[in-house]
Amino acid sequence: MRVAVIVFPGSNADVDMFNAVEDIMGVSVDYVWHSTTDLSAYDVILLPGGFSYGDYLRTGAIARFSPVMEQVVKAAEAGKLVMGVCNGFQILLEAGLLPGAMLRNDSLKFRCKLVKLRVASNATPFTRDYAAGEVIEIPIAHGEGNYFCDEATLARLKANGQIVFRYEGENPNGSVDDIAGIVNEAGNVLGMMPHPERAVHEWMSSDDGKRIFTSILTTWRERNSATTHA
């Protein structure tokens, strides 16, 4: 299994993501520069946080047209697991791989703290190792995490079980329906504002993010053995 951590100009959580994959999944992982035009060697694509292209115009708006993004779309269409965290989530929204858009936090503050999340769905390849309804702690660090979508889209997200994480207690950014993370309809693309890669060891104040990485690994192993036996 090979994991790609996509690096855009201005990514800054790429090292944390890389380390989390190495530490928790123990699989081969590469930094992949945004100008790459071939991701066929990778099974899992991770878009890390940061401020790609300085957040110019809108968060993720310019990164979304990086050469690598065509390949990310292809990988998503092929059913590979794609996860975007924070700025990675914003890029997935701009790319149209996930519905909705991001607004500035309603508090106008950059929020950087450990927050409580409720696992709204554990029926995804990314959250199978959590219990449904479980409350976990994962840090956020963003100024634009105020997820917005229209009512029809929200109704679809709910009906399809696409809402994966909700803020529990205080909503730090004003997002619609307290949304912290969603998947696409097929369930293989996850976007979330909190940083699971920054909560994978007890000394990080929480290791609740670990199970996202173990879930990905379990999903891949299952799929892979199914293919081998087919």
Partner 1 sequence: MCKAVVYVTLRESVLDPQGHAVQGSLHTLGFDEVKEVRIGKYMEVVLDTRDRKLAEERVRQMCEKLLANTVIEDYRFEIVEG
Residues near partner 1 (CB under 8 A): 57-58, 61-62, 65, 94, 100-101, 103-108, 146, 148-150, 174
- For residue 101, the minimal CB distance to partner 1 (Å) is 4
**Two tokens, residue 228:** 């081998």
The catalytic position among 34, 94, 149, 195 is 195
Q: Beta strand 81-85 with 135-142: parallel, antiparallel or unpaired?
A: unpaired
CA distance 1 to 24: 14
195 given a catalytic annotation: yes
CB nearer to partner 1: give 97 or 204. Answer: 97
- For residue 1, the minimal CB distance to partner 1 (Å) is 34
CB nearer to partner 1: give 127 or 184. Answer: 184
CB nearer to partner 1: give 137 or 177. Answer: 177
Task: Tell me how far CA of residue 208 lies from CA of 87, 103, 164, 216, 225, in angstroms.
Answer: 20, 27, 15, 14, 27
CB nearer to partner 1: give 10 or 143. Answer: 143
The catalytic position among 34, 86, 142, 149 is 86
- For residue 112, the minimal CB distance to partner 1 (Å) is 18
Contacts of 200 (CB under 8 A, 6+ apart): 20, 23, 24, 207, 209, 210, 213
149 given a catalytic annotation: no
Alpha-helical (H) ranges within 51-181 are 67-77, 87-94, 151-159
Residues acting as catalytic residues:
86, 195, 197
